[in-house]
Structure 1
Amino acid sequence: MAIFRLALQSLNNRKATAFLTILTVAISLLLLLGVERVRTQAKESFANTISGTDLIVGARSGQVNLLLYSVFRIGNATNNIDWSSVEEIQRNPAVAWTIPISLGDSHRGFRVVGTTGEYFEHYKYGNKQPISFSEGQPFESLFDTVIGAEVAAKLGYKMGDDIVIAHGLSDVKFSRHDNLPFTITGILAPTGTPVDQSVHVSLPAIEAVHVGWERGVQIGNGVNAQNIDPDKLETEQVTALLVGLKSKIQTFALMRTVNEYPREPLTAIMPGIALHELWGLMSVAEQALLVVSGFVVIAGLLGMLSSLLTSLNERRREMAILRAMGARPAHIFVLLVSEAVFLTLLGIILGVLALFVILGVSAPYVLSQYGLQLSSTWLNTQELTLIGIVLIAGFLVGVLPALRAYRQSLSDGMTIRI
């Protein structure tokens, strides 16, 4: 124990150098753990976005692109699906339920999703968790809307408020459907998925707001709610179709049927396989980030090694005095290794604390801007393994100066030139 107390006192006499070393290790570990946390939780967030859906059908496209725009609201569809094709898929004996989705409009930066009541009944996320309402109920009237939890929180909406949606993704004055406002009749409970950042309206409402619009431009003065007959509104096209089957065995058969559909080019994908392909595309970037953060950790440890070696040259007389007072070479070795391990351990503690502080502060912003749920849960096995590797590396970094001190002779230290 005397050796460890001596190590602490020695570091206390070199506060500035010790603090900079600890800070270097902390920053490098923070980057390493941050990259690992974002990487793993991005995968978990994506994987938890949709559950219980057997197939996603859209216009002919790559399966990753179809997955991104239909589920994650990222990007745009190459084309739409005719409603007659949707009805034919719905009539297939293997189909248990379908959720049509129409995208293209927005509200103050949030995507508008045109859908049916089956969305609130069959859409699931996480481990087959159904979406639920924190307030209100699904839309019933033509101009009712149900908003996600993040939309309500960020824009300060409450039940009964009126909102105006815009044509396209740019919410500017000339593109707004301000002649046909919607009334909020439901607010969904938080899910940590893109559902939280969506404004949901009925498919007939999507048709209604586009009456009098041609190629994204309003012709004339538009119409008002009194001039629209809901019974005459017919859905012509949708963006995508989520499909649930009566039996998983029928998945590949229906997929082949859709992919070979003769009336228009369609693509049917399995969400799990599309996610696997997405991870394959992202793996190069993941590995690059891990390599970069690994090099930052190495740079931090090399900085600590440089600091220890520099201080060792300044402490040769101190080492010699310790030897003269009866300290064995092994004691000197343990002293220097203890200093390196202690600096590394303090750097690890500071880095972990900084990680949780940054996660707590940035999580709401990341969720609202990117739809990524970053949790401040305790370190997982992979993160603890990385911390263990850094601690072992810190020990090994301390071995080199410790060996040098171990080999220095008593006379070399006592006759050192200043």
Structure 2
Amino acid sequence: MYLFRLAMASLANRRFTALLTAFAIALSVCLLLAVERVRTEARASFASTISGTDLIVGARSGSVNLLLYSVFRIGNATNNIRWDSFEHFANNPKVKWAIPMSLGDSHRGYRVMGTSEAYFEHYQYGHRQNLELATGRPFATDPFEVVLGAEVAEALHYKLGDKLVLAHGVAAISLVKHDDKPFTVVGILKRTGTPVDRTLHISLGGMEAIHIDWHNGVPARGAGRVTADQARNMDLTPQAITAFMLGLNSKISTFALQREINDFRGEPMMAILPGVALQELWSLMSTAEKALFVVSLFVVLTGLIGMLTAILTSLNERRREMAILRSVGARPWHIATLLVFEALALALAGVVAGVGLLYLCIAVAQGYVQSNYGIYLPLSWPTEYEWTLLGGILAAALLMGCVPAWRAYRQSLADGLSIRL
């Protein structure tokens, strides 16, 4: 124990260099744990982008493609689904609720989704969290009402009562707009950290109304055009939708209904389980995830090499100190153990400071990260895996400490009590 106290005294004598070395290790440890914590929570957040939905149904394509355009608003559907096909499964005894979705238009780079009131009632994200309005109300009987996601409202500075014009297609800059049928902002959703924040929500009737005088992707001209007031008095039941989500009365019937949808003879459709498709999509990004983790490991290695360099650099300067220790009875292995203790103390101080720095950063940034990126970073004790990483760092520091310890051992034997400078 006296050797450890002696190591602490030696570090205190070189406190400026020791503090810088410990700080470098602390930063690297903080980065490693932060990457691991964000990686873990991002995976959990990614998996909870949608929750409480048993099946997502769309035109037959690939499961990842269906997930991307229906949940993440990325890409486009290969085909639409007839409205009567949706009604057929929405009225199935196994189905508790159904949310239709119609995509294809945009507004200043943000996607527009036509849906029903069931979307605000049944759509869930995170840990079974329902959508909530920050202000206003959901769209009602008027087809030209829009509910904005939080990011859309914030980025474009919209408020209740503002008018906006939707564009045809999903390009960031569109030359074809539905400027004869403007929409009124009636509600703004609370931030969720999911693609909902980047979506404009209108009714299926509204989606039908802006396209009612379109033929083959081209708006009618002259007398063929339908005004907004005329559209309000017309039957706005959609002929087709892009996809729909289903919540079932019993989880047991999920696979049976999935097979029924996939084998539906009315038109080619496919049903996917959101959780399975999310894991499949996440696996596609595993390479980048592992690369980020490897980079953070190399940062830790750099910090430990800095510690090794600092100790090795000080060896020649401390040869007189070691000779004095030998003169008072220290053996060469005492000198070697002293340096191992110094390396371990620096690493331990860096690890403790790194963990403390991590929690400080989480406490400061927790609310911002959750509200803007949908990632919840808990102020919890390190997980078993994180403890393993910290133990690995200390073990690596102990091994690196053996290098200057061996050199000091050899120098101590060579110098004896006569120091040669």
TM-score by length of 1: 0.86
Contact 2:323/2:419 (<8 A) preserved: no
Aligned to 2:107: 107
In 2, Cα distance between equivalents of 1:190 and 1:70: 19
Moved more, 47-56 or 190-199: 190-199
Residue 220 to residue 392, structure 1, CA distance change in 2 (3 Å): farther
Kindly indicate whether the alpha-carbon contact (under 8 Å) linking 1:333 and 1:403 is maintained by their aligned counterparts in 2.
Answer: yes
Question: How far off its partner does 1:96 sit?
Answer: 1.8
Distance 1:104 1:31 in 2: 41
Q: Distance in 2 between matches of 1:217 and 1:306?
A: 71
Alignment length, in residue pairs?
Answer: 413
How far apart are the structure 2 equivalents of 1:216 and 1:325? 94
1:306 and 2:309 are equivalent in the alignment: yes
Kindly state the Cα deviation for residue 68 of structure 1 after the two structures are TM-superposed: 2.2
Structure 1 spans left out of the alignment, 5+ residues? none
Shift of 1:390: 1.6
Equivalent residues in 2 for 1:231-310, closer than 5 Å? 231-310=234-313
Distance 1:270 1:212 in 2: 36
Distance in 2 of aligned mates of 1:95 and 1:187: 29
Q: Which digits, 9 at most, give the CA deviation of each residue in 1:361-384, with x for residues without a partner?
A: 69858975xx55253634541334
Give the aligned residue type for 1:208: A
Q: Note if 1:148 corresponds to 2:183.
A: no
Equivalent-residue separation in structure 2 for 1:283 and 1:398 (angstroms): 34
Q: Is the 8 A contact 1:98 1:118 kept in 2?
A: yes
Query: Counterpart amino acid of 1:155?
Result: L
CA deviation after TM superposition for structure 1 residue 250, in Å:
1.6
Cα gap change, 1:417 to 1:210, in 2 (>3 Å):
farther
> Contact 1:316 / 1:413 at 8 angstroms: preserved in 2?
no
Q: Distance in 1 between matches of 2:343 and 2:368?
A: 37
2:337 is aligned with 1:337: no
Give the corresponding residue for 1:389: 392
**Percent identity between the aligned chains?**
53
> What are structure 2's unaligned runs of at least 5 residues?
none
SS at match of 2:180: coil
Give the partner amino acid of 1:396.
L
Q: 1:169 maps to what in 2?
A: 170
State which drifts further: 322-331 or 102-111.
322-331
1:50 corresponds in structure 2 to: 50
The one-letter amino acid of 1:167's match is H
- Give the direction of change, closer, same or farther, for the CA distance of 1:289–1:233 in structure 2 (3 Å limit): same
- Cα distance, 1:330 vs structure 2: 5.5
What one-letter code is carried by the residue in structure 2 that aligns with 1:373?
Answer: I
Q: Is the 8 A contact 1:145 1:199 kept in 2?
A: yes
Contact 2:8 2:342 in 1 (8 A): no
Distance 1:283 1:111 in 2: 27
Give the C-alpha shift of residue 12 in structure 1.
2.4
Query: Which residue matches 2:116?
Result: 116
Change (3 A) 1:240 1:230: farther
Letter in 2 for 1:377: L
Q: Give me the whole-angstrom Cα distance separating, in 2, the residues matched to 1:2 and 1:206.
A: 76
In 2, the alpha carbon distance for the partners of 1:71 and 1:123 equals: 11
Change (3 A) 1:71 1:328: same
Matched residue of 1:195: which SS? helix
Given that 2:163 and 2:185 are in contact with CA atoms closer than 8 Å, whether structure 1 keeps it comes out as yes
Match of 2:191, as an amino acid? P
What amino acid is the match of 2:53?
A: T
1:200 match: 201
SS at match of 2:234: helix
Contact 1:56 1:241 in 2 (8 A): yes
Distance 1:259 1:344, change over 3 A: same
Q: Kindly tell me: are residues 394 and 213 of structure 1, through their superposed partners in 2, closer, same or farther at Cα, counting changes over 3 Å? A: farther
SS in 2 for 1:78: coil
2:85 corresponds in structure 1 to 85
